[in-house]
Structure 1
Amino acid sequence: MSRCLFLGMFFSFFFISCQPKKKEVILQSIPVSAPFGRVAVKTPDFSNLNKYYITNFNAVPGDKKANTQAIKLAIEKARENGGGTIVIPKGEWMTGKIHLKSNINLHLEKGAVLLFSDAPEDYLPPVHTTWEGLECFNYSPLIYAYECKNIAITGQGTLKAEMGTWRKWFDRPPGHMNSLKRLYNMAAKDVPVEQRQMVNDSSNFRPQFIQFNRSENILLDSITITHSPFWVIHPYLSKNVTIKNVKVFAHGHNNDGVDPEMSQHILIENCVFDQGDDAIAVKSGRNQDAWKLNTPSKDIVIKNCKIINGHQLLAIGSELSGGVENIYMSNCEVAENAKLNHLLFIKTNERRGGYVKNIYMDSIQAGKIDAGVLGIETDVLYQWRDLVPTYERRLTLIDGIYMNKIHAKNVEFLSRILGQEEKPVKNVRLTEVASDSIRKEKHIHQNVDNFNQN
C-alpha cells in the first residue's frame, strides 16, 4: 500500500469518527399492568434534541398569518435536522392549523396560549380524516399528524379554540344532514376515500381539535385544552399513545375528551376531564369502512383520572365495528356534583358488527348518577335510524364485562343490559358494586347470559 493511500484512508477514518453523532429521539417503553396482562407503551423523549423558538421564525403575538407560518417553518427546520422541540413562549399566539411531522415535539411554556382560529378556510386544503367513524376528506384537525412517528405535545401552556363559527355548526342544519347521508352511502358502497370530499357550503363537518392519524409513539403531557370544535383528542389507527397530566375543558357538541379509535397500546393517566360529552370514548370505526380496515382498539389503560362532568365516564361505541378489547379503567375520581349518565356505557346497533370483550373497571367512587353504574344497549341509532337504511345487518358480540369496587351514592339502577335475542350479552360480573340509594330497579336486563353480582 502506498504511503499516500494509507494516509488518505487514515484521515478519512479520523474525519468520519470525529463527526458528531446525529441526535435522535429516545424511545422509552413504559410497562403497565392490567387484568388482561402487561401493556408496554413506547413513549418519545426529546431531551436530546435541539429547541426551535417560534420567535426566531418571525412569530408575532396577535398576527395569525405570521404565527402559522413561523410554526410551520420551525417544524420544517427541525425536521431537516433530524427532529426537535418547537417552543411556544409565554403569551397568546393566534394561529391556524398545525401539521406535525415525525420527531417533533410541540412544547408550550408556562403561560403560553396557542389560540386557534375559527375560520374554516384556515383548515384547508382538506385532509384524509374521519367523521364519526367514516373516512373522508374534510377540514384539517386543528393539530394534525398523518403517518408520523415520535411526536409530542408537551408543556404547561394551553391550547384553546375560538368557537364562534364552530358553535354555529353545532345545530346540524339540513345541509349537514344531507352530507351525512351522502358520506354514509359512499362508505357503504366502498367509494374510494379520495372521492369522499366533504368540504362544501353546507356539510359543516367540524374538525377534531387534535388527531393523530396512522401514527405511533405519541406523547401528550401536562397541557391544558380549552374548547373544541368536535372530539378533543383523537388517536386514529395509531399505536403507542401516552396521555398524562392533561386537563381538558370542552362543553360543546360532541366534545368527547379522548376518542381512541382503532388504536392500540394506550395509557391515559392523571388527567382531568370536564366535558360536554363522554370523558373517554373508545371507538373502532363504523360499518363497512371498519370491517375493511379490520383493526381493533385494544390494550388501553386509564388510571388516576378525575372527571368533573361528562355524559359517560367510559363509553364504548357506538362506532365499534373493528372490535374493542382489553380495556382497563382504575382508580378514577368522579366529582361529587358531576353531571354524568353512566360510569360504563356500551352502545351498538344492528349495523355495527364488531365485538366488545375483556372490559375491566375497578376502584371508582361517584356521587349521584343520572342513569346507572353500567349501561349496555344494542339498539342505539340516534338520528341514523330513519336517516339511512341498513345495508348489511351485523350484530355485536359483547362478552366479558368486569366491574369491581364501584360505589355511587345515588343511581336509577346498578345495571341496565339490553341485549339482542339472537346474540345475548355474555359474562358480566359485578363485585362490590353498590349504591347508597337506587331510584328504580337494581337490575334491568334483557337477553343476558351468565350475569353475576357478589
Structure 2
Amino acid sequence: MKKLTLSLALISLMIFAFAQNKSVVGTTIIKVKTPFVMPNISIPDFSKCKKLSIVDFGAVKGDQNKTSSAIAKAINEANKLGGGIVVIPQGEWLTGKIHLKSNVNLHLEKGAILSFSANPEDYLPAVQSSWEGMECYNYSPLIYAFECKNIAITGEGEIKANMETWKVWFARPSAHIASLKRLYNLAAAYTPLKERQMVNDTAHLRPQFIQFNRSENILLEGISITNSPFWTIHPYLSKNVVIRKIKVYAHGHNNDGIDPEMSQNVLIEDCVFDQGDDAIAIKSGRNPEGWRLKTPSKNIVIQNCTVKNGHQLVAIGSELSGGIENVFINNCTVVDGAKLNHLIFIKTNERMGGYVKNIFASNIKAGKIDLGILGIETDVLYQWKNLVPTVIRKLTPISNIHLENMSASNVKFIARILGEKDLPVKDIFLKNVTADKIDEQKYIQKNVVDFKAL
C-alpha cells in the first residue's frame, strides 16, 4: 500500500511538473521566396499569453536594483506559466543584465526605455559566449538567451546601452591584444570551454548587446536600439530567427548591426541601420572553432532594409571557418551620403578554411560608395596578421556569387576580386550592376575563374 501511495505521489508530481513546463505559446510559420530551397521559419506567437508588468514585480523608475530584480522575477513567472509577455511600461527604466528564458516575450510599450548599466560588474558572473568567432566565458551580453526556445523582444520602445565604460574599452592596448592572443591559442588547442575564462582586469572583451546563443524560434520586432558595447545583435548557433522592423543606431568600435553566426533559417527585413561598422555581417566561427562546431551559417534572407551608415551593407566573414551558404539580399537601399566601403564584401584568409557559396544579391540602390559594389578578398587578417603565425593553412573555396540590378552613383570599381593562386574564386555572375561614375577600374581581377558581367 505504501508503494502504491508513493507511486501515485510520484505520478502526480510528474503531471504537475509537465503542466508547469507545457508551452502555451503558439507558432507562426514564415515562408520566404528565394533562389535556393529555403525552409519555412517557425517563430513564436504570444497572442494568447498572459501579460506581466514589471511594476507588479517591484520595478521602480530610477532604481536599477529593484527593476533588474523585477524583470528577472517576471521572466521566471512567464517561463513557469509556459508562456508570458513581460511588459516594460512607458518611461525610462534602469537595469543590469537581462537573461531570457524559454516561452518569454520581453515587450517594450511605446515610450518605454530600458537603459542598461555601464558597470561591467553588473554583467557577472561570466557566461558562455564568444569573441570574434572564438568561444569563451565572458561578461554576459546585456540581453542574453542560452538554449532557449520560443523567445521574443518586441514593441515600440527602446533599449540603450550607456557607454561610459565601454567607450573607454574601445581602445586596444597591449593587455587587450595579449588576451586576444591567449584566447586564440586556447581555441587552437581545443582547450575545454570552462578553461577559457576571459574576464579579468585587462582583457576588456566587451559584451554583445543582444545574444541569442544556441536558441530557436526567435522574434525580434519593432524596437529601437541605441549604442552597443560590441556587436549589436548576435544570433549564435541558433535556428529560426526573424528580425524585422527594428532601428539600430550604434557608432562605436565593432558596432555591427546584426551578426548571424553559425545560424540557420534567418530572416532580416524592414530594418534601418546606422552603424559604426558593418550593417550586417554573416559569420561562422574563427579557425578551429568553425571546424570544431561544424555548423555553417545557412539560409539567410535580408530584404527591404535601409542603411544610413556603415562599412558594408552585407559583409561575409572574415570569421567563416564553418562555412556560409544560401544568402539572399534583396530590395535594399543605402541612403545618399552614407559612408560605405562596399555593398557586398566577402573576406577571408589562409587560416580560415570553411567555404562561401550561393550568394545572391539583387535590386539594391546606393549613392557614393568609397570602394565598390562587390569586393572579394582572401588575405584579410587585420590585427591577426602579426599577432599569431599561420599554424594550419586552409584556404576558403568561394563560388557561385550572383549580383543583379544593383547600382551606385560613384565608385572606384564595380567589382574587385582578389583570389588565391592555389584556389581561385570561381563562378561570379553580374547582370545590370552599374555605377554612374567609376573613378578607377570597372573590374579588378586576380585568380578568378569564370567571371561574367552582362
Q: How high is the TM-score relative to the length of structure 2?
A: 0.95
| Residue deviations 1:351-384 (CA, integer Å, cap 9, x gap) | 0000000000000011100000000000000110
| Residue deviations 1:13-60 (CA, integer Å, cap 9, x gap) | xxx9xx9x9761111111101011333111111011101100001100
Question: Following the alignment from structure 2 to structure 1, what is the Cα–Cα distance between the partners of residues 234 and 125?
Answer: 20
Give 1:30-179 correspondences, 5 Å limit.
30-179=30-179
Structure 1 equivalent of residue 235 of structure 2: 235
Q: Which amino acid aligns with 2:247?
A: K
| Residue deviations 1:363-411 (CA, integer Å, cap 9, x gap) | 0011100000000000000110110111211000000110000010100
Question: Following the alignment from structure 1 to structure 2, what is the Cα–Cα distance between the partners of residues 302 and 109?
Answer: 26
Count the aligned residue pairs: 437
More displaced, 220-229 or 33-42?
Answer: 33-42
SS of the equivalent of 2:375 reads: strand
Structure 2 equivalent of residue 351 of structure 1: 351
Q: Which amino acid aligns with 1:166?
A: W
Structure 1 equivalent of residue 257 of structure 2: 257
Q: Which amino acid aligns with 1:113?
A: I
Question: Following the alignment from structure 2 to structure 1, what is the Cα–Cα distance between the partners of residues 413 and 25?
Answer: 49
Contact 2:129–2:140 (CA<8 Å) still a contact in 1? yes
1:399 aligns with 2:421: no
| Structure 1 gap ranges (5+) | 1-15
% identical aligned pairs:
62
Contact 2:23–2:103 (CA<8 Å) still a contact in 1? no
Q: Which amino acid aligns with 1:442?
A: K
Contact 1:33–1:39 (CA<8 Å) still a contact in 2? no
Q: Which amino acid aligns with 2:378?
A: T
Question: Following the alignment from structure 2 to structure 1, what is the Cα–Cα distance between the partners of residues 42 and 423?
Answer: 37
| Residue deviations 1:305-346 (CA, integer Å, cap 9, x gap) | 000001000100000000000000000011011110000000
SS of the equivalent of 1:106 reads: strand
SS of the equivalent of 2:40 reads: strand
| Residue deviations 1:116-160 (CA, integer Å, cap 9, x gap) | 001000000000000000000000000000000000000000000
SS of the equivalent of 2:74 reads: helix
Give 1:403-414 correspondences, 5 Å limit.
403-414=403-414
Question: Following the alignment from structure 1 to structure 2, what is the Cα–Cα distance between the partners of residues 258 and 352?
Answer: 21
Question: Following the alignment from structure 1 to structure 2, what is the Cα–Cα distance between the partners of residues 264 and 141?
Answer: 21
Structure 2 equivalent of residue 326 of structure 1: 326
Q: Which amino acid aligns with 1:237?
A: L
Contact 1:23–1:49 (CA<8 Å) still a contact in 2? no
Structure 2 equivalent of residue 303 of structure 1: 303
SS of the equivalent of 1:135 reads: strand
Structure 1 equivalent of residue 276 of structure 2: 276
Q: Which amino acid aligns with 1:277?
A: D
Structure 1 equivalent of residue 5 of structure 2: none
SS of the equivalent of 2:101 reads: coil
| Residue deviations 1:202-255 (CA, integer Å, cap 9, x gap) | 000000000000000000010000000000000000000000000000000000
| Structure 2 gap ranges (5+) | 1-15
SS of the equivalent of 2:56 reads: helix
